[in-house]
Structure 1
Amino acid sequence: GWWGMNILRYAMAAGESQVVAMCDVDQNQLNPALEEVRKLSGDQPKKYTDYRELLDKEKPEIVIVGTPDHWHPLQTIAAVKAGAHVYVEKPIGHTIKEGRAMVNAARAADRVVQVGTHRRISPHNRSGMEFLKSGKAGDIGMVRAFVHYGGGPGEVTPDSEPPAGLDWNMWCGPAPLRPFNQKIHTKGFRQYLDYANGQLGDWGIHWLDQILWWTDEKYPKKVSSFGGRFIKRDNTDAPDTQVATYEFEKFVVSWEHRMYAANNAEKTHPQQAVGCYFYGTEGTFHMGWLDGWTFYPTDSRKPVIHEDAKLESKDNENIRLLWADFLQSIKSNKRPACDIEIGHRSTNMALLGMLSMKHGKSVEWDGEKEMIVGDDAANKLLSRPYRGPWEYPKV
């Protein structure tokens, strides 16, 4: 009903699909979404509260998975097994082994699975990546990715009974069943570690994905992360402060976020300072969001090079372009711009950072085997128990 509807608006606007059914465990989200679809498209989609029933009865050709993170794996795997192509939001899952199971299921079913890392399709990101890959920034030895926002300690919001029309047990699904809290649903779940992986899992994947897009290296060899809750006093439990480092063969990456103090000291746009700085021998390249990209040459006699962002919609994304790429990939039977394997690797970057922080130590990553070297306790964190009757997907 929330982000899934945002994607669906672009799908309807493309004019190549009929909306046959919609599913949500919250009637308060589902009913307004159904009404909007009827008004925008004239379609009369059927209404479901269980995705399994929808897949069994409707047998859709395309499925949009815009649910909370902890639901992405089971729903994506079920959809491709039912014969559907899937557009799934990022991050693709809550744990690393879920992601590999999703990739394997997509390949076994020969289905296209597009991940919502839309910066791979945005015009300024593409031209910026061409600039970086051309070598104009020189040899790059370090990349810094960051997202900082303002905010204060907050306050505790008491738990309450779920609102009428919400099946809270089904919302929690395979994740732990905890008391309902209005700060979790509908838009706050990413700051609760039972259902997501905090700011690194939400925002980190976008910028870490940009780094994997640039490099020929598929994964880091060592990851270390530390952080905690030093400011927040509300009832979220994700870290409000976190730093992660990723060691590759030829360069090092640092990630940092904080959910307070903002970032006015290094604003590159009137509204924000986020993104990645690529530090090369010829200069510093900043890949931003609202501010496009900028190259600052080491030689001060050379001009700064800049390209403005080209973004769409009130959310400043390029979902229309990503959806068009998805449809074209289905027609041509080719891998999409944000293929599930790409999304899996980028999600892993975020999840490895969270794993290291939870584990309290650095981890050495074998990206081919997708396991942590010499640390049985850390390897146990590559998956987690599912709440019955749900079964963790088999790799």
Structure 2
Amino acid sequence: MSCGPASGRIDRSNVFRFQQQQVIMKVEDFLKHECNRRQFLENSARNAAGLAVGVASLGSAASASPSERVRIGVIGLGAQGRELAQELAAQPDVDVAAVADADSRLLGPTVDELARETNGPIRAERDFRRLLDDSSLDAVAIATPDHWHATMAVMACRAGKDVYVEAPLSLHLNEGRQLADVAAETDRIVQTGLQQRSGAHFRSAIELVQGGGIGRVRIAKAWVVHRRKPLPAADDSTAPRGVDYNLWLGPAAARSFDSNHFHRNWMWYWDHGGGELGLWGVHLLDVARWGLGVDWPRHVSATGGKLYFNDDRETPDTLNVQFDFDDATIQWEHRSWSRRGIEGRSAAVAFYGDDGTLIVDRGGWKVYERRESLTASSSELLGPHLRNFVDCIRSRRTPAADVETGLIAAGLCQLGNAAYRQGQPVDFDVDSMAARDDAANTLLTGTQRTPWGDALA
């Protein structure tokens, strides 16, 4: 390999095409083939687009015969569920054979959309348990509100299904731990919807950080800054025709129907979601801890509140969280009422090293404070992530965002919210998977309504 002078920015006309075994090569092995550390940094940036092509092609499958096809059911047909269904249907060896949602009004339109992508009939059910009872389905994809994720995934594992579950893995820490245990007991593949784990440009950014490309990194910061609309209070009313609201609530506390505790707004209430931390933080904090190579924090502190909106939401519109590990720190910030982001990005992760700063988001990454210009453009995320899931169903290998990865990503959000809600820091003991004070553990532990709590027994 030539060791000539650096060209600076990525030369797209001269992208290096890694073969599969080179794409998945560890950074240290890659360094053996480079002339020196500086050349590695230059080539990392130059070849980022090549990585995108290589990683995406790892799971590509030729058209499969019917006997080789994977049959999947999709549960939860909001915007994310419909996107999952369409992406799965676009895979050459997958049949989206069934869909389910407690709101039967969503069934017909979703089936009509999928009919253009899928051969054969598509079963539509209001009760997801009909899909779990269907022995012809190999797997289910769960895109329900967060309060359903762990309970439904446990039920699916025990029904013999592999599971793709949207992030966060669980609403409460104890539920996530139980799901991880059940997945191991039943030998089920569980892929969490942390799609950055399958994005080529996220992978190349992490390789550069972990390979020493910006020196030693002690601090990472993740954030989301955008302007949301106020959420006026909604009166109790009757659920719309075709909606089984009791089923929609599932393991969450019983309540009368109101439109805020339903489609689009459920994530702003503690019974159903984790606010911006559960929505955005789970993805970005996972990238931060991935780059730093850390798992569970020992100390978590938080400050914030509803500083802007005087409305019906329960979760904070402003929050700062600090996660302290043994030799590193991760910081989180969100503002739901502002348009000016951090480091020029609205939602991103920054790694601060003593030889530079790398900032990565879904649009690409760039290194600052260096003479060389090191950058990479965006790569596809969801398609490769679902491809990885399907390939792991076949191979029984560990997926890119396995259940333990999802457990920690969700756990960071749960610890951050617990520190905020109780108004004092949380000290966490990883051996017992519990906080060191009862008040925090109460917030970290969910109680499921009968009969759904039986699924986690």
**Alignment map for 1:268-283 (pairs within 5 Å):** 268=345, 273-283=346-356
CA RMSD across the alignment:
1.8
In 2, distance between residues paired with 1:339 and 1:267?
32
Q: Within 1, Cα distance between the matches of 2:270 and 2:166?
A: 18
Question: Greater Rg, structure 1 or structure 2?
Answer: 2
Query: 1:223 aligns to what?
Result: 300
Unmatched segments (≥5 aa) in structure 1: 312-317
Aligned to 1:380: 442
Instruction: Name the counterpart of 2:69.
Output: none
Aligned-partner SS, 2:81:
helix
Secondary structure of the equivalent of 1:14?
Answer: coil
CA–CA distance in 2 between the matches of 1:97 and 1:364?
16
Distance apart, 1:329 and its partner CA: 1.3
Match of 1:326 in 2: 389
Residue 162 (structure 1) aligned with residue 239 (structure 2) = yes
Asked if the contact 2:341/2:347 (under 8 Å) is kept, the reply is no
Change (3 A) 1:152 1:167: closer
Secondary structure, aligned partner of 2:90: helix
Q: Distance in 1 between matches of 2:135 and 2:383?
A: 25
For the residue of structure 1 that corresponds to 2:452, the secondary structure is coil
Deviation at 1:41, TM superposition (A): 1.1
Partner Cα separation in structure 2 for residue 39 and residue 170 of structure 1: 29
Instruction: Give, in angstroms, the shift of residue 319 of structure 1.
Output: 1.2
Distance 1:74 1:97 in 2: 11
Asked if residue 285 in structure 1 is aligned to residue 285 in structure 2, the reply is: no
Q: Could you tell me whether the CA contact under 8 Å between 2:302 and 2:321 is conserved in 1?
A: yes
TM-score, normalization by structure 2: 0.79
Deviation at 1:246, TM superposition (A): 0.2
- For 2:330, which of 230, 253, 256 is the aligned residue? 253
Contact 1:37 1:43 in 2 (8 A): no
In structure 2, what is the equivalent of residue 295 of structure 1? Answer: 367
Q: TM-score, normalised by structure 1?
A: 0.91
CA–CA separation in structure 2 for the residues paired with 1:226 and 1:182:
29
2:18 aligns with none
Q: CA deviation at 1:223?
A: 0.6
State how far apart, in whole Å, the 2-side matches of 1:159 and 1:284 are. Answer: 50
| Aligned residue pair count | 380
The alpha-carbon deviation at position 379 of structure 1 amounts to 1.8
CA pair 159-258 structure 1, distance change in 2 beyond 3 A:
farther
* Deviation (angstroms), 1:58: 4.1
8 Å Cα contact 1:286/1:294 also seen in 2: yes
Query: C-alpha displacement at 1:139, in angstroms?
Result: 1.0
Amino acid at match of 2:397: K
Q: 1 CA distance for matches of 2:421 and 2:355?
A: 37
Q: Select which of 92, 108, 130 maps to 1:15.
A: 92
2:43 equivalent in structure 1: none
Contact kept in structure 2, 1:156 and 1:233, CA below 8 Å: no
Distance of 1:151 and 1:78 partners within structure 2: 35
Q: Are the equivalent residues in 2 in contact too, given 1:151–1:262 (CA < 8 A)?
A: no
What displacement does 1:18 show? 2.3
Match for 1:276: what amino acid?
V
**Residues 1:358 and 2:427 are matched in the alignment:** no
Q: What is residue 111 of structure 1 aligned with on the other side? A: 188
Letter of the aligned partner of 2:254 in structure 1?
A: L
CA distance in 2, matches of 1:11, 1:265: 34
Percent identity, aligned pairs only?
31
Worse-superposed segment, 86-95 or 183-192: 183-192
d(CA) in 2 for partners of 1:202, 1:338: 17
Evaluate the alpha carbon distance shift between residue 6 and residue 74 of structure 1 in structure 2; reply closer, same or farther with a 3 A threshold: same
Cα deviations by residue, 1:63-111 (Å, 9 ceiling, x for unpaired): 1111111011111111111111111100011100100111111111111
For residues 128 and 26 of structure 1, do their structure 2 counterparts lie closer, same or farther at Cα, with a shift above 3 Å needed?
Answer: same
Which of 265, 289, 310 aligns to 2:379? It is 310
